[in-house]
Structure 1
Amino acid sequence: MASLWSKISASLPVNEEQFQLQFSDKVESSVVEMLRRSRQQLYSDTTSTSRTLNAQIILDISWERLNTGTWRDVDKEWRRVYSYGCLFKVASLCRGSPSEDEILQAVRTCDMGLLMGAAIMENILQDIVKILQSEVRRSSRGEDECEHMQVKRARTADPHVPSINEELAVPRIKCPSLESFSTNYLLPLKPVILEGIINHWPALNTHPWSIDYLRSVAGCRTVPVEVGSRYTDEDWSQTLLTVNEFIDRYILNKNRISQDGGKGVGYLAQHQLFDQIPELKEDICIPDYCCLGEGDEDHITINAWFGPAGTVSPLHQDPQQNFLAQVVGSKYIRLYSPEDTDKLYPHESQLLHNTSQVEVENPDTQRFPEFAKAPYLECVLQPGDVLFIPVKHWHYVRSLEVSFSVSFWWS
C-alpha cells in the first residue's frame, strides 16, 4: 500500500517549476519569498524542523492579516497566502512516517485553510483532507467501536412539545406541482409544509444521519460551533471544535451545563459545512421548487443546523426565501407575517434589526404589550418535513430533541 506521503505528493505538481505562486503587490515581496522558500523545501530533502518553521511563519503573518479589521475587508490574496501556509504545514506534518496525532493535526490544518483561506490549486486542500480522512478511518477500523454503537440516538429528556391549535397550524401539502406551489404559496408568500419531497434523500434512507454516521464521515473535522442557547444572549460565543468534540460535549454530555460555565448549549450552524465535507452534501439534494427562483444553483445558500434539545433561534426574519428541511429530530416553529412587524419589537440596533426583542414562549407583556395581538402560525417539524418560510416572514425555532436540519436560502 502506498505511503501517506506518496498519496499526498501525487496530488501536488510534479516539480517546483509547475508549482505556480502568483500574487499581486498587495502581498509583500518578503512574504512571497518565504512562500517560494517553502515551495523549494517541498521538493528537497530539507529538515523537518526547517519546513515546519517556514510554514508556521507564513501562517502567523497571514493570520494576523486575516484578523485585522472586519472580515469583508480581508483581501483574498491574504486568504490565499494563508491556504498556502496550511498546505506547506500539512506537507511538513505528513513527510516520513507521521504519528496519529500528526495526521489529526494535518486534518485540522486543512480545515482551517478551508474555513479561513481561499481555494488554491483547484482546491487542493479538499483533495488532501480526503486522503487524510481515509488514513484516519483505516487506522481506527480495528479499534473497539462499541461505545459509539451504543449511542446511535442521543438520549434526551422528554421534550416539551407544545400542543398545536388546528386553527393556527401551518398547512400541509404532499408533493405539489411546481405550478401549484408557485400559485398558492410562493407568489402570495404563504408558509406551508411540503411532505414527501425529500424522501429520496440518502440522509433519510440509504445513509440515515445519526451520531455514528456523523462521526464516521466527519468526526475528525474541525468546524465552527456557536456556544449559547441563542445568539442574542450576552454570553453567546463561537469556537472551533472537531465534530467528535462537539458531539461529546454538547450532544451526549448530560452534565454539559455545569461543565461549561453555564453555557450548556452548543450549536453547529454554518453554511460552509457541505462544501467542507462533501460526503454530507452527497446525502441531500436541492429541492426542485428552488428552480422557481431567479438565480441558478450557485446562488442557493445551503446551511446546516445541528444541535441538542433546547437550542433556540430567536424570532427573526431573513432576506430570502427559505426551505427548512428536517432530517433528524423535531422542532417547534412559530411564524409571523412581516405585516405585523410593528407588534414584534425588533431590536433598534442595525446589527440586530432583523431580530425581535420578545422571548416568544415567555413574553414580557408589560414591555411588549402589542406582541399578544400579533397573529401567527405554528407547527412541529418532523423528519422528512420541509417548511417553506417566505421571504421576510418572522420565525422562531426551538429544537425539541437532538436535531439536524438543512435550510436552503434562495431568491
Structure 2
Amino acid sequence: MTLLRVGARAHPRISTSCNLLRQHRLARLLRTFASNNGSDRPPLDGYHVLTTRPVLEAPDSLASSPPAFLEYLRSPTAAPLLLRAHTRPAARSRAETLLRTLWTAGDRLVEVEIGRYDKPAPGTGGRMDVPLRMYLEWLTGEQGGGSGEGERVQLYLAQWRAGDEVPGLAETVQTPSLLAPLLANHTVDLYQSSFFIGPATTITPLHYDPYYNLYNVYASSDPNVHAKHFVLLPPDLSESLSRADGSVLRNTSPVDLHLRGDSSGNAFDVLIDPSTAPLRTREALSESGGALSCVLREGDTLFVPRKWWHRVENVRLQDTDAANPGWTAGVGWWFLPRNS
C-alpha cells in the first residue's frame, strides 16, 4: 500500500563510531518481537465468510502490449488483472540474488513497522530504525529471530524505497515490462516504487490507493511454499468500507478480514470479523458479488486499479514448520497516466 504521507526521510548509514549500546538494544528488541505465527490470532468461530471470485488472468494480447494495457487501465470498468510468470526460476535463485544485493547496504538504517500500521504494538510508536543487516539476519533466521518469548507482533520492512538506497538494486529488480515503455515515452508518471519484505503471516490491512499499481512478488524464500494472498473490493463499496472516525489513515478501512486455509493448503476462505463490521456492512459486501482474491507466487504480478480496496497477507501454501516461517519480497510500482 501507500500511505497518504508527503515525502520520505533519508535513511543514513551507521558510522563506525555508532554507539554500540544502541545497537545492542536494537538487537534485543528484534529478538524479543517474534513474527506472528498465527497462534495468537482470535478464534474464527462465528466469523462471516465472504465469497470471492478469482482475479482474471490478463489475456496475452494485453499482457504483452503496453499500449493495450494503457487503454485498458484508462477504461472506467478496469478491474484487477493477474499476470502470471511465464517461467518459474530455480528454487531460491531470486531470493539469493536479492539478499546478496541487500547485504551490500547492510549498515543502512531502515524503518521497520512493529505491528500493523493501523494497530501499532503498544509502547513502540509503531516503527523502529534498525540496521538493514540486523533485519535480514532476523528474517532469514541467522539470529534465531522468531524464537523470542516476548509479545508476538509482526516486524515488516514495508514501503521501503530501496531502489533509491541500495546500489545495484535497480539493475537487479527492474521495472515491469508493461510499465517501462510507458514511462520512457512519458505517457504515465511514476509516483513511487517500494519494497515490502517480511515473514509469513505479515499483513497489510484493507485500504485503497489513489494510484494505479503493478505489484510483483519478486522473491520468495521457497517459491513452492511462501506467497502473497490478495483480497480486492471495488470502489463502489467505499461507503461501506470507509472510516467514519476521522482517522488520519483515511484510505484505510476499519473492517478486519482474516484468512482460513482449506485442507489443500493452497486456497483460503476470507472471513469478516463481525466486531469490526456491522450487519449492514457484511450484507453489502456479500450482496455486491464484487469481492476478488488471488495468490501471487514468485514472479507473478497483479494490476490493482486506483481506489480498489485491497488486503495483503504473506501465506504458506503448504503445512510447514511455523518456527521457520520463511519470507517474501514484493515490489509495488504506483503510477498515473497522463491526460490523452
TM-score for both structures, normalised by structure 1: 0.54
1:256 aligns with 2:165: no
The letter for the 1-side match of 2:331 is V
Offset of residue 356 of structure 1: 0.8
Offset of residue 319 of structure 1: 0.6
Offset of residue 332 of structure 1: 0.7
> Does the 8 Å contact 2:189/2:335 carry over to 1?
no
Rounded to whole Å, the distance in 1 between the matches of 2:119 and 2:228 is: 20
Rounded to whole Å, the distance in 1 between the matches of 2:6 and 2:102 is: 33
Deviations 1:307-358 (Å, cap 9, x if unpaired)? 0011100000001000000112310100000111122243532412211111
The letter for the 1-side match of 2:243 is P
1:352 aligns with 2:277: no
Rounded to whole Å, the distance in 2 between the matches of 1:388 and 1:286 is: 14
1:301 aligns with 2:226: no
The letter for the 2-side match of 1:352 is L
Offset of residue 180 of structure 1: 3.3
Rounded to whole Å, the distance in 1 between the matches of 2:242 and 2:292 is: 18
Tell me the residue number matched to 1:342. 239
Deviations 1:281-302 (Å, cap 9, x if unpaired)? 2112222433557957873411
Rounded to whole Å, the distance in 1 between the matches of 2:174 and 2:7 is: 33
- In structure 1, stretches of 5+ residues that fail to align are 1-70, 91-100, 106-155, 159-164
Tell me the residue number matched to 1:285. 174
Q: CA 1:250/1:264 → structure 2, altered by over 3 Å: closer, same or farther?
A: farther
1:220 aligns with 2:111: no
Which structure shows the bigger proportion of residues in helix conformation? 1
Q: Alignment partner for residue 55 of structure 2, among 163, 167, 170?
A: 170
1:232 aligns with 2:118: yes
Q: CA 1:177/1:220 → structure 2, altered by over 3 Å: closer, same or farther?
A: same
Rounded to whole Å, the distance in 2 between the matches of 1:244 and 1:73 is: 24
Q: CA 1:332/1:206 → structure 2, altered by over 3 Å: closer, same or farther?
A: closer
Q: Alignment partner for residue 378 of structure 1, among 293, 297, 306?
A: 293
Deviations 1:28-69 (Å, cap 9, x if unpaired)? xxxxxxxxxxxxxxxxxxxxxxxxxxxxxxxxxxxxxxxxxx
The letter for the 2-side match of 1:219 is G
Rounded to whole Å, the distance in 2 between the matches of 1:184 and 1:299 is: 18
> Does the 8 Å contact 2:113/2:127 carry over to 1?
yes
Q: After the TM superposition, which residues 16-165 of structure 1 pair with which residues of structure 2 at under 5 Å, given as runs?
A: 101-102=16-17
Tell me the residue number matched to 1:267. 156
> Does the 8 Å contact 1:207/1:283 carry over to 2?
no
Tell me the residue number matched to 1:410. 335
The letter for the 2-side match of 1:363 is I
Tell me the residue number matched to 2:229. 332
Rounded to whole Å, the distance in 1 between the matches of 2:90 and 2:331 is: 12
> Does the 8 Å contact 1:271/1:303 carry over to 2?
yes
What percentage of residue pairs aligned between the two structures are identical? 23
Rounded to whole Å, the distance in 1 between the matches of 2:52 and 2:231 is: 13
Say which SS state the counterpart of residue 257 (structure 2) adopts: coil
Offset of residue 272 of structure 1: 2.6
Offset of residue 363 of structure 1: 2.5
Q: CA 1:255/1:179 → structure 2, altered by over 3 Å: closer, same or farther?
A: closer
Aligned residues: 263
Q: Which has the higher contact order (CA 8 A, sep 6+)?
A: 2
The letter for the 1-side match of 2:235 is P
Say which SS state the counterpart of residue 209 (structure 1) adopts: helix
Rounded to whole Å, the distance in 2 between the matches of 1:205 and 1:378 is: 25
Offset of residue 238 of structure 1: 1.0
- In structure 2, stretches of 5+ residues that fail to align are 20-35, 39-49, 221-226, 259-270, 317-326
Say which SS state the counterpart of residue 286 (structure 1) adopts: coil
TM-score for both structures, normalised by structure 2: 0.64
Q: CA 1:338/1:328 → structure 2, altered by over 3 Å: closer, same or farther?
A: same
1:365 aligns with 2:274: yes
Offset of residue 369 of structure 1: 1.7
Deviations 1:213-262 (Å, cap 9, x if unpaired)? 2564333332111111x111142611111222112334426663744x41
> Which of structures 1 and 2 has the bigger CA Rg?
1
> Does the 8 Å contact 1:346/1:357 carry over to 2?
yes
Rounded to whole Å, the distance in 2 between the matches of 1:257 and 1:356 is: 32
Deviations 1:90-139 (Å, cap 9, x if unpaired)? 6xxxxxxxxxx55x88xxxxxxxxxxxxxxxxxxxxxxxxxxxxxxxxxx
The letter for the 2-side match of 1:364 is D
Which structure shows the bigger proportion of residues in strand conformation? 2
1:320 aligns with 2:211: yes
Rounded to whole Å, the distance in 2 between the matches of 1:258 and 1:205 is: 29
Rounded to whole Å, the distance in 2 between the matches of 1:73 and 1:193 is: 30
Q: CA 1:262/1:295 → structure 2, altered by over 3 Å: closer, same or farther?
A: farther
Rounded to whole Å, the distance in 1 between the matches of 2:101 and 2:108 is: 10
The letter for the 2-side match of 1:240 is D
Rounded to whole Å, the distance in 2 between the matches of 1:73 and 1:264 is: 27
